[in-house]
Structure 1
Amino acid sequence: MRAMILAAGLGTRMRPLTLKTPKPLLTAAGKPLIQFHIEHLVAAGAERIVINHAWLGEQIESALGDGSRFGVELVYSPEAEPLETAGGIRQALPLLADDKDDSFLVVNGDVYTDLAPDRLREMELNAGCDAHLLLVDNPAWHPEGDFHLEDTGLVLNSGSPKLTFSGVSMLRASLFTDLVSGEAAALAPILRQAMASKKVAGERLNAYWDDIGTPERLSALDKRLKGES
Protein backbone atom coordinates (compact mmCIF):
# COMPACT_ATOMS: atom_id res chain seq x y z
CA MET A 1 0.00 0.00 0.00
CA ARG A 2 1.14 3.52 -0.84
CA ALA A 3 0.23 6.54 1.25
CA MET A 4 0.82 10.28 1.29
CA ILE A 5 1.03 12.68 4.22
CA LEU A 6 0.24 16.26 3.30
CA ALA A 7 2.78 18.39 5.15
CA ALA A 8 3.37 21.44 2.94
CA GLY A 9 1.25 23.98 4.82
CA LEU A 10 2.76 27.21 6.08
CA GLY A 11 1.38 26.72 9.58
CA THR A 12 0.24 30.32 9.88
CA ARG A 13 -2.45 29.50 12.47
CA MET A 14 0.22 27.90 14.64
CA ARG A 15 2.45 30.95 14.85
CA PRO A 16 4.64 31.74 16.69
CA LEU A 17 5.32 28.01 17.17
CA THR A 18 5.95 27.53 13.45
CA LEU A 19 8.25 30.48 12.86
CA LYS A 20 11.28 28.21 13.26
CA THR A 21 9.71 24.74 13.24
CA PRO A 22 7.47 23.24 10.53
CA LYS A 23 4.05 22.27 11.89
CA PRO A 24 4.50 18.51 11.29
CA LEU A 25 7.44 18.52 13.72
CA LEU A 26 5.55 20.19 16.56
CA THR A 27 5.18 17.68 19.36
CA ALA A 28 2.40 16.25 21.51
CA ALA A 29 3.38 14.02 24.42
CA GLY A 30 6.98 14.34 23.24
CA LYS A 31 6.35 12.98 19.73
CA PRO A 32 6.24 14.95 16.44
CA LEU A 33 2.72 15.12 15.02
CA ILE A 34 3.80 13.57 11.73
CA GLN A 35 5.27 10.56 13.54
CA PHE A 36 1.82 9.53 14.76
CA HIS A 37 0.71 9.32 11.13
CA ILE A 38 3.79 7.39 10.06
CA GLU A 39 3.35 4.83 12.82
CA HIS A 40 -0.36 4.40 12.08
CA LEU A 41 0.28 3.98 8.35
CA VAL A 42 3.08 1.48 8.93
CA ALA A 43 0.81 -0.53 11.24
CA ALA A 44 -1.83 -0.43 8.51
CA GLY A 45 0.59 -1.96 6.02
CA ALA A 46 2.03 1.01 4.15
CA GLU A 47 5.22 0.10 2.30
CA ARG A 48 5.98 3.58 0.98
CA ILE A 49 4.92 6.95 2.39
CA VAL A 50 5.30 10.12 0.35
CA ILE A 51 5.59 13.37 2.30
CA ASN A 52 5.31 16.72 0.56
CA HIS A 53 6.75 19.78 2.24
CA ALA A 54 7.47 23.46 1.67
CA TRP A 55 8.01 25.70 4.70
CA LEU A 56 11.20 24.57 6.49
CA GLY A 57 10.85 21.25 4.72
CA GLU A 58 14.52 20.39 5.06
CA GLN A 59 13.91 20.01 8.79
CA ILE A 60 11.29 17.34 8.09
CA GLU A 61 13.67 15.33 5.91
CA SER A 62 16.46 15.68 8.46
CA ALA A 63 14.25 14.58 11.35
CA LEU A 64 12.62 11.60 9.63
CA GLY A 65 15.30 10.38 7.25
CA ASP A 66 14.62 7.54 4.85
CA GLY A 67 12.09 5.87 7.14
CA SER A 68 14.23 2.85 8.00
CA ARG A 69 13.82 3.42 11.75
CA PHE A 70 10.05 3.28 11.27
CA GLY A 71 10.16 0.21 9.05
CA VAL A 72 8.92 2.00 5.93
CA GLU A 73 10.29 3.78 2.87
CA LEU A 74 9.87 7.54 3.21
CA VAL A 75 10.22 9.66 0.10
CA TYR A 76 9.77 13.41 -0.20
CA SER A 77 8.09 15.74 -2.65
CA PRO A 78 9.47 19.24 -1.98
CA GLU A 79 7.50 22.28 -3.13
CA ALA A 80 9.16 25.65 -3.64
CA GLU A 81 5.76 27.20 -2.88
CA PRO A 82 2.81 25.29 -1.42
CA LEU A 83 0.78 23.73 -4.25
CA GLU A 84 -2.40 23.15 -2.19
CA THR A 85 -3.76 19.67 -1.66
CA ALA A 86 -4.53 18.54 -5.23
CA GLY A 87 -1.47 20.27 -6.67
CA GLY A 88 0.74 18.59 -4.10
CA ILE A 89 -0.74 15.19 -4.87
CA ARG A 90 -0.37 15.75 -8.62
CA GLN A 91 3.32 16.54 -8.29
CA ALA A 92 3.83 13.46 -6.12
CA LEU A 93 1.98 11.02 -8.42
CA PRO A 94 5.17 9.50 -9.89
CA LEU A 95 6.29 8.68 -6.34
CA LEU A 96 2.91 7.09 -5.54
CA ALA A 97 2.74 4.96 -8.69
CA ASP A 98 2.01 1.29 -8.11
CA ASP A 99 1.56 -1.18 -10.98
CA LYS A 100 -0.86 -3.25 -8.89
CA ASP A 101 -3.09 -0.47 -7.55
CA ASP A 102 -3.90 3.04 -8.80
CA SER A 103 -5.27 4.18 -5.44
CA PHE A 104 -3.50 5.44 -2.33
CA LEU A 105 -4.25 6.70 1.15
CA VAL A 106 -3.96 10.42 1.84
CA VAL A 107 -3.78 11.94 5.32
CA ASN A 108 -3.65 15.63 6.21
CA GLY A 109 -0.57 16.19 8.31
CA ASP A 110 -2.34 18.57 10.67
CA VAL A 111 -5.04 16.21 11.94
CA TYR A 112 -4.85 13.59 14.67
CA THR A 113 -6.92 10.44 15.00
CA ASP A 114 -6.62 7.22 16.95
CA LEU A 115 -8.45 5.30 14.24
CA ALA A 116 -7.31 1.68 14.41
CA PRO A 117 -4.68 0.72 11.81
CA ASP A 118 -6.85 -2.26 10.86
CA ARG A 119 -9.56 0.16 9.76
CA LEU A 120 -7.10 2.04 7.58
CA ARG A 121 -5.97 -1.25 6.08
CA GLU A 122 -9.56 -2.09 5.14
CA MET A 123 -10.17 1.16 3.24
CA GLU A 124 -10.64 0.55 -0.45
CA LEU A 125 -12.45 2.07 -3.39
CA ASN A 126 -15.72 0.58 -4.52
CA ALA A 127 -16.05 -0.26 -8.20
CA GLY A 128 -16.83 2.93 -10.08
CA CYS A 129 -15.67 5.20 -7.27
CA ASP A 130 -12.68 7.52 -7.42
CA ALA A 131 -12.61 8.54 -3.75
CA HIS A 132 -13.57 7.24 -0.33
CA LEU A 133 -13.75 9.88 2.40
CA LEU A 134 -13.82 9.54 6.17
CA LEU A 135 -16.20 12.11 7.63
CA VAL A 136 -16.69 13.37 11.19
CA ASP A 137 -19.35 15.26 13.12
CA ASN A 138 -18.93 18.98 12.63
CA PRO A 139 -16.57 20.53 15.18
CA ALA A 140 -17.43 23.83 16.84
CA TRP A 141 -15.07 25.73 14.56
CA HIS A 142 -16.67 24.31 11.39
CA PRO A 143 -20.41 24.00 12.14
CA GLU A 144 -21.60 24.13 8.53
CA GLY A 145 -19.73 20.96 7.54
CA ASP A 146 -18.50 20.01 4.06
CA PHE A 147 -20.42 17.15 2.44
CA HIS A 148 -23.58 15.09 2.82
CA LEU A 149 -23.32 11.35 3.48
CA GLU A 150 -26.26 9.34 2.19
CA ASP A 151 -27.43 6.13 3.83
CA THR A 152 -26.15 4.27 0.76
CA GLY A 153 -22.60 5.46 1.48
CA LEU A 154 -22.59 7.95 -1.38
CA VAL A 155 -21.08 11.38 -0.59
CA LEU A 156 -22.66 14.44 -2.20
CA ASN A 157 -21.90 18.13 -2.22
CA SER A 158 -25.55 18.96 -1.56
CA GLY A 159 -27.97 17.61 1.00
CA SER A 160 -28.54 17.81 4.72
CA PRO A 161 -27.15 17.21 7.25
CA LYS A 162 -23.56 17.79 6.28
CA LEU A 163 -20.47 16.32 7.91
CA THR A 164 -16.87 17.51 7.98
CA PHE A 165 -14.17 15.89 5.85
CA SER A 166 -11.59 14.46 8.24
CA GLY A 167 -8.62 14.80 5.91
CA VAL A 168 -8.28 11.00 5.66
CA SER A 169 -9.19 9.44 2.32
CA MET A 170 -8.47 6.83 -0.30
CA LEU A 171 -8.08 8.46 -3.71
CA ARG A 172 -7.62 7.25 -7.26
CA ALA A 173 -4.70 8.62 -9.25
CA SER A 174 -6.88 9.38 -12.26
CA LEU A 175 -8.51 12.22 -10.29
CA PHE A 176 -5.30 14.21 -10.70
CA THR A 177 -3.78 13.24 -14.03
CA ASP A 178 -5.43 16.13 -15.92
CA LEU A 179 -3.79 18.67 -13.59
CA VAL A 180 -0.51 20.30 -14.56
CA SER A 181 2.33 19.14 -12.35
CA GLY A 182 3.84 22.03 -10.43
CA GLU A 183 0.71 24.18 -10.49
CA ALA A 184 -1.36 24.86 -7.38
CA ALA A 185 -4.81 23.25 -7.24
CA ALA A 186 -7.35 22.67 -4.49
CA LEU A 187 -8.87 19.27 -3.75
CA ALA A 188 -12.45 20.32 -2.98
CA PRO A 189 -13.40 21.27 -6.59
CA ILE A 190 -12.07 17.94 -7.85
CA LEU A 191 -14.06 16.03 -5.25
CA ARG A 192 -17.21 18.02 -6.04
CA GLN A 193 -16.84 17.21 -9.73
CA ALA A 194 -16.51 13.52 -8.89
CA MET A 195 -19.52 13.78 -6.56
CA ALA A 196 -21.59 15.17 -9.41
CA SER A 197 -20.88 11.89 -11.25
CA LYS A 198 -21.63 9.88 -8.08
CA LYS A 199 -18.08 8.62 -7.87
CA VAL A 200 -17.36 9.49 -4.22
CA ALA A 201 -18.19 7.18 -1.32
CA GLY A 202 -17.62 7.65 2.37
CA GLU A 203 -18.34 6.74 5.95
CA ARG A 204 -18.15 8.19 9.43
CA LEU A 205 -14.80 8.06 11.18
CA ASN A 206 -15.72 6.30 14.42
CA ALA A 207 -12.71 7.25 16.53
CA TYR A 208 -11.22 10.27 18.24
CA TRP A 209 -10.32 12.97 15.73
CA ASP A 210 -9.27 16.62 15.80
CA ASP A 211 -7.71 19.21 13.53
CA ILE A 212 -4.53 20.29 15.30
CA GLY A 213 -4.45 23.68 13.65
CA THR A 214 -3.91 26.05 16.55
CA PRO A 215 -1.64 26.19 19.61
CA GLU A 216 -4.69 25.65 21.81
CA ARG A 217 -5.64 22.41 20.04
CA LEU A 218 -2.05 21.23 20.15
CA SER A 219 -1.98 21.84 23.91
CA ALA A 220 -5.30 19.98 24.29
CA LEU A 221 -3.94 16.98 22.36
CA ASP A 222 -0.76 17.00 24.44
CA LYS A 223 -2.81 16.86 27.65
CA ARG A 224 -5.08 14.13 26.24
CA LEU A 225 -2.16 11.91 25.26
CA LYS A 226 -0.54 12.43 28.67
CA GLY A 227 -3.79 11.48 30.37
CA GLU A 228 -4.24 14.94 31.82
CA SER A 229 -7.69 15.58 30.34
Structure 2
Amino acid sequence: MTRLATAPIPAMLLAAGRGMRMRPLTDETPKPLLPVQGRPLMQWPMEALLAGGFRRLVVNTAWLGEQIDAFCADWQSQHPGSEVTVSREGQDFGYALETAGGIARALPLLGDVFWVLAGDVYAPGFAFTPTSVARFKASSQLAHLWLVPNPAHHPRGDFGLSPEGLALNEADARYTYSTIGLYRRELFEAPWCEIVPGNPQGTAEPLAPLLRRAIDAGLVSAELYTGPWVDVGTPERLKELG
Protein backbone atom coordinates (compact mmCIF):
# COMPACT_ATOMS: atom_id res chain seq x y z
CA MET A 1 0.00 0.00 0.00
CA THR A 2 1.34 3.42 -0.95
CA ARG A 3 1.34 5.88 1.92
CA LEU A 4 0.68 9.57 1.40
CA ALA A 5 3.75 11.68 2.04
CA THR A 6 1.74 13.98 4.27
CA ALA A 7 1.92 13.34 8.01
CA PRO A 8 -1.31 13.98 9.89
CA ILE A 9 -1.59 17.57 11.03
CA PRO A 10 -3.34 18.95 14.12
CA ALA A 11 -6.79 20.49 14.20
CA MET A 12 -8.08 23.36 16.28
CA LEU A 13 -11.66 23.07 17.44
CA LEU A 14 -13.15 26.37 18.55
CA ALA A 15 -15.24 25.91 21.69
CA ALA A 16 -14.81 29.08 23.76
CA GLY A 17 -17.97 31.03 22.90
CA ARG A 18 -20.68 31.96 25.38
CA GLY A 19 -23.58 30.93 23.10
CA MET A 20 -25.80 33.86 24.07
CA ARG A 21 -28.41 33.12 21.37
CA MET A 22 -28.74 29.59 22.75
CA ARG A 23 -29.77 30.70 26.23
CA PRO A 24 -31.14 29.34 28.48
CA LEU A 25 -29.69 26.05 27.18
CA THR A 26 -26.15 27.38 27.49
CA ASP A 27 -26.56 28.80 30.98
CA GLU A 28 -25.45 25.47 32.43
CA THR A 29 -24.02 23.62 29.40
CA PRO A 30 -21.45 25.00 26.92
CA LYS A 31 -22.86 25.02 23.40
CA PRO A 32 -20.37 22.46 22.00
CA LEU A 33 -21.67 19.93 24.52
CA LEU A 34 -25.37 20.32 23.71
CA PRO A 35 -26.67 16.98 22.39
CA VAL A 36 -27.45 16.37 18.73
CA GLN A 37 -28.93 12.95 18.00
CA GLY A 38 -27.55 11.59 21.23
CA ARG A 39 -24.00 12.95 20.94
CA PRO A 40 -22.44 16.20 22.13
CA LEU A 41 -22.25 18.60 19.20
CA MET A 42 -18.45 18.79 19.24
CA GLN A 43 -18.17 15.01 19.18
CA TRP A 44 -19.37 14.89 15.56
CA PRO A 45 -16.35 16.69 14.09
CA MET A 46 -14.00 14.96 16.53
CA GLU A 47 -15.17 11.59 15.21
CA ALA A 48 -14.84 12.81 11.61
CA LEU A 49 -11.28 14.00 12.24
CA LEU A 50 -10.38 10.67 13.83
CA ALA A 51 -11.87 8.81 10.84
CA GLY A 52 -9.57 10.84 8.58
CA GLY A 53 -6.50 9.93 10.62
CA PHE A 54 -6.21 13.24 12.45
CA ARG A 55 -5.61 12.44 16.11
CA ARG A 56 -4.05 15.65 17.46
CA LEU A 57 -6.58 18.21 18.57
CA VAL A 58 -6.38 21.59 20.29
CA VAL A 59 -9.60 22.84 21.89
CA ASN A 60 -9.99 26.38 23.21
CA THR A 61 -12.35 27.04 26.10
CA ALA A 62 -13.78 29.89 28.15
CA TRP A 63 -17.46 29.66 29.17
CA LEU A 64 -17.98 26.59 31.40
CA GLY A 65 -14.61 25.36 30.19
CA GLU A 66 -14.26 22.81 32.96
CA GLN A 67 -17.08 20.77 31.38
CA ILE A 68 -15.26 20.71 28.04
CA ASP A 69 -12.04 19.80 29.89
CA ALA A 70 -13.77 16.77 31.36
CA PHE A 71 -15.26 15.75 28.03
CA CYS A 72 -11.87 16.01 26.27
CA ALA A 73 -10.16 13.98 28.99
CA ASP A 74 -12.81 11.28 28.66
CA TRP A 75 -12.50 11.33 24.85
CA GLN A 76 -8.74 10.89 25.02
CA SER A 77 -9.04 8.00 27.46
CA GLN A 78 -11.51 6.25 25.16
CA HIS A 79 -9.42 6.78 22.02
CA PRO A 80 -5.88 5.52 22.58
CA GLY A 81 -3.39 7.34 20.40
CA SER A 82 -5.42 10.53 20.33
CA GLU A 83 -4.02 13.72 21.85
CA VAL A 84 -6.27 16.55 23.03
CA THR A 85 -4.73 19.74 24.38
CA VAL A 86 -6.96 22.41 25.93
CA SER A 87 -6.18 26.11 25.53
CA ARG A 88 -7.93 27.59 28.57
CA GLU A 89 -8.69 31.18 27.60
CA GLY A 90 -11.25 31.69 30.34
CA GLN A 91 -8.88 30.41 33.01
CA ASP A 92 -5.90 32.38 31.68
CA PHE A 93 -7.60 35.69 30.88
CA GLY A 94 -11.15 35.60 32.17
CA TYR A 95 -12.69 35.91 28.70
CA ALA A 96 -12.71 34.34 25.25
CA LEU A 97 -10.17 35.63 22.71
CA GLU A 98 -12.43 35.38 19.62
CA THR A 99 -11.35 33.32 16.62
CA ALA A 100 -8.06 34.87 15.51
CA GLY A 101 -7.04 35.65 19.08
CA GLY A 102 -7.75 32.09 20.13
CA ILE A 103 -5.82 30.61 17.20
CA ALA A 104 -2.89 32.95 17.89
CA ARG A 105 -2.94 31.84 21.53
CA ALA A 106 -2.73 28.18 20.48
CA LEU A 107 -0.27 28.75 17.62
CA PRO A 108 2.73 27.16 19.40
CA LEU A 109 0.69 23.95 19.62
CA LEU A 110 -0.43 23.89 15.99
CA GLY A 111 2.64 23.75 13.77
CA ASP A 112 2.93 25.07 10.23
CA VAL A 113 -0.38 23.77 8.77
CA PHE A 114 -3.56 22.90 10.66
CA TRP A 115 -7.31 22.46 10.40
CA VAL A 116 -9.65 24.96 12.03
CA LEU A 117 -13.30 24.16 12.70
CA ALA A 118 -16.07 25.26 15.04
CA GLY A 119 -17.44 23.11 17.82
CA ASP A 120 -20.99 24.38 17.24
CA VAL A 121 -21.41 23.48 13.56
CA TYR A 122 -23.07 20.23 12.47
CA ALA A 123 -21.65 18.80 9.25
CA PRO A 124 -21.91 15.01 9.63
CA GLY A 125 -20.87 14.19 6.07
CA PHE A 126 -17.74 16.32 5.88
CA ALA A 127 -14.57 14.27 5.33
CA PHE A 128 -11.24 15.48 6.71
CA THR A 129 -8.78 13.88 4.30
CA PRO A 130 -5.00 13.65 3.92
CA THR A 131 -5.54 14.41 0.23
CA SER A 132 -6.94 17.84 1.06
CA VAL A 133 -3.96 18.51 3.30
CA ALA A 134 -1.46 17.40 0.66
CA ARG A 135 -3.10 19.64 -1.97
CA PHE A 136 -3.05 22.61 0.39
CA LYS A 137 0.56 22.07 1.40
CA ALA A 138 1.56 21.97 -2.27
CA SER A 139 -0.12 25.34 -2.88
CA SER A 140 1.10 28.83 -2.01
CA GLN A 141 -2.15 29.75 -0.23
CA LEU A 142 -2.40 30.95 3.35
CA ALA A 143 -5.82 29.36 3.83
CA HIS A 144 -8.28 27.07 2.10
CA LEU A 145 -11.96 27.48 3.01
CA TRP A 146 -14.98 25.26 2.56
CA LEU A 147 -18.03 27.33 1.65
CA VAL A 148 -21.67 26.26 1.82
CA PRO A 149 -24.90 27.47 0.19
CA ASN A 150 -26.34 30.34 2.19
CA PRO A 151 -28.75 29.28 4.96
CA ALA A 152 -31.97 31.21 5.47
CA HIS A 153 -30.53 33.10 8.43
CA HIS A 154 -27.49 34.31 6.43
CA PRO A 155 -28.80 35.04 2.92
CA ARG A 156 -26.02 37.43 1.86
CA GLY A 157 -23.20 34.96 2.46
CA ASP A 158 -19.57 35.77 3.19
CA PHE A 159 -17.31 35.13 0.20
CA GLY A 160 -17.46 34.60 -3.53
CA LEU A 161 -15.69 31.83 -5.41
CA SER A 162 -13.74 32.41 -8.62
CA PRO A 163 -13.61 29.87 -11.49
CA GLU A 164 -9.97 29.30 -10.50
CA GLY A 165 -10.95 28.33 -6.98
CA LEU A 166 -10.01 31.53 -5.16
CA ALA A 167 -12.11 33.09 -2.42
CA LEU A 168 -13.41 36.57 -3.30
CA ASN A 169 -14.46 39.48 -1.11
CA GLU A 170 -16.57 41.00 -3.88
CA ALA A 171 -18.75 38.81 -6.08
CA ASP A 172 -22.28 38.69 -7.45
CA ALA A 173 -22.80 35.24 -5.93
CA ARG A 174 -21.54 34.69 -2.42
CA TYR A 175 -21.51 31.67 -0.15
CA THR A 176 -21.31 31.18 3.61
CA TYR A 177 -18.06 30.19 5.26
CA SER A 178 -18.66 26.78 6.82
CA THR A 179 -16.08 27.50 9.59
CA ILE A 180 -14.03 24.56 8.26
CA GLY A 181 -10.67 25.45 6.77
CA LEU A 182 -7.00 24.64 6.39
CA TYR A 183 -4.55 27.32 7.51
CA ARG A 184 -0.86 28.14 7.54
CA ARG A 185 0.64 29.65 10.64
CA GLU A 186 1.94 32.57 8.51
CA LEU A 187 -1.57 34.03 8.42
CA PHE A 188 -1.35 34.52 12.19
CA GLU A 189 2.05 36.19 12.08
CA ALA A 190 3.28 39.56 10.80
CA PRO A 191 2.45 41.19 8.45
CA TRP A 192 -1.03 39.61 8.39
CA CYS A 193 -1.63 39.48 12.12
CA GLU A 194 -0.32 41.90 14.74
CA ILE A 195 -0.80 39.51 17.67
CA VAL A 196 2.38 38.02 19.08
CA PRO A 197 2.37 34.22 18.53
CA GLY A 198 1.10 32.66 21.73
CA ASN A 199 -0.96 35.81 22.41
CA PRO A 200 0.49 36.34 25.92
CA GLN A 201 -1.30 39.66 26.23
CA GLY A 202 -4.73 38.09 25.64
CA THR A 203 -5.78 40.10 22.59
CA ALA A 204 -9.30 39.26 21.43
CA GLU A 205 -9.55 39.54 17.65
CA PRO A 206 -11.90 38.13 14.98
CA LEU A 207 -10.69 36.08 12.03
CA ALA A 208 -12.63 37.78 9.21
CA PRO A 209 -10.35 40.84 8.83
CA LEU A 210 -7.27 38.62 8.44
CA LEU A 211 -9.01 36.46 5.89
CA ARG A 212 -10.24 39.45 3.90
CA ARG A 213 -6.73 40.92 3.69
CA ALA A 214 -5.33 37.61 2.49
CA ILE A 215 -8.21 37.22 0.03
CA ASP A 216 -7.43 40.65 -1.44
CA ALA A 217 -3.87 39.40 -1.98
CA GLY A 218 -5.14 36.28 -3.79
CA LEU A 219 -3.82 33.97 -1.07
CA VAL A 220 -7.01 32.18 0.00
CA SER A 221 -8.50 29.32 -1.99
CA ALA A 222 -11.94 27.83 -1.49
CA GLU A 223 -14.36 25.15 -2.60
CA LEU A 224 -18.08 24.52 -2.24
CA TYR A 225 -19.38 21.88 0.15
CA THR A 226 -22.99 20.86 -0.47
CA GLY A 227 -23.49 18.18 2.17
CA PRO A 228 -25.66 18.60 5.28
CA TRP A 229 -24.51 21.64 7.26
CA VAL A 230 -26.11 23.58 10.13
CA ASP A 231 -24.75 26.44 12.19
CA VAL A 232 -26.41 25.47 15.46
CA GLY A 233 -26.92 29.03 16.61
CA THR A 234 -30.42 28.98 18.12
CA PRO A 235 -32.51 26.55 20.18
CA GLU A 236 -34.84 26.21 17.17
CA ARG A 237 -32.05 24.98 14.89
CA LEU A 238 -30.89 22.58 17.57
CA LYS A 239 -34.40 21.20 17.97
CA GLU A 240 -34.71 20.66 14.21
CA LEU A 241 -31.68 18.35 14.31
CA GLY A 242 -33.31 16.09 16.86
Could you state the TM-score of these two structures normalised by the residue count of structure 2? 0.86
Aligned counterparts of 1:172 and 1:103: Cα–Cα separation in 2: 5
Q: Distance in 2 between matches of 1:212 and 1:84?
A: 18
Opposite residue 37 of structure 1, the aligned amino acid is P
Say yes or no: does 1:121 pair with 2:115.
Answer: no
Where 1:10 maps in the other structure, the secondary structure is coil
What is the Cα deviation at residue 137 of structure 1?
0.6
Q: Secondary structure at the match of 1:191?
A: helix
1:110 deviates by: 1.0
> Equivalents in 1 of 2:124, 2:130: separation in Å?
14
| SS state at 2:59 partner | strand
Question: In structure 2, what residue type is equivalent to 1:16?
Answer: P
Structure 1 residue 120: Cα displacement: 3.6
Question: Following the alignment from structure 2 to structure 1, what is the Cα–Cα distance between the partners of residues 52 and 108?
Answer: 22
| Residue number among 103, 119, 134 corresponding to 2:113 in the alignment | 103
Distance apart, 1:90 and its partner CA? 0.3
Aligned to 1:225: none
Residue 153 of structure 1 corresponds to 165
CA contact (8 A) 2:44 2:124 kept: no
1:49 offset after TM fit, Å? Answer: 0.3
Give the TM-score, by structure 1 length.
Answer: 0.91
Root mean square deviation, CA, Å: 1.3
Which residue number in structure 2 is paired with residue 75 of structure 1? 85
CA shift, 1:15, in A, is: 0.3
CA displacement at 1:221 relative to structure 2 = 1.2
Residue identity in the other structure for 1:65: A
Q: Report the residue type matching 1:202 in the other structure.
A: A
SS at structure 2 position matched to 1:140: coil
SS in structure 1 at match of 2:42: helix
Among 89, 113, 116, the residue aligned to 2:103: 89
The match for 1:200 among 199, 216, 220 is 220
2:45·2:124 contact (CA, 8 Å) conserved in 1?
no
**Counterpart contact for 2:149–2:226, Cα < 8 Å:** no
Could you list the runs of 5+ residues in structure 1 that have no partner in the other structure?
223-229
Question: Do the aligned partners of 1:114 and 1:209 also contact (CA within 8 Å) in 2?
Answer: yes
1:149 aligned partner, one-letter code: L
Q: How many Å separate the matches in 1 of 2:85 and 2:225?
A: 27
Which residue of the partner structure matches residue 6 of structure 2?
none
Corresponding residue SS for 2:28:
coil
The offset of 1:122, in angstroms, is 2.6
Aligned residue among 193, 206, 212 for 2:232? 212
Contact 1:42/1:70 (<8 A) preserved: no
What is the count of residue pairs matched by the alignment?
A: 217
Instruction: Provide Cα deviations, 1:113-137, integer angstroms capped at 9, x if missing partner.
Output: 02343x5433232521000000011
- Deviation at residue 152 of structure 1 after TM alignment: 0.8
CA contact (8 A) 1:38 1:70 kept: no
Q: Secondary structure in 1 aligned to 2:12?
A: strand
Q: Which amino acid is the alignment partner of residue 140 of structure 1?
A: A
Q: CA–CA distance in 2 between the matches of 1:175 and 1:154?
A: 16
Is residue 184 of structure 1 aligned with residue 204 of structure 2? yes
Please tell me whether the aligned partners of residues 5 and 109 of structure 1 are also in contact (alpha carbons under 8 angstroms). Answer: yes
Deviation at 1:217, TM superposition (A): 0.8
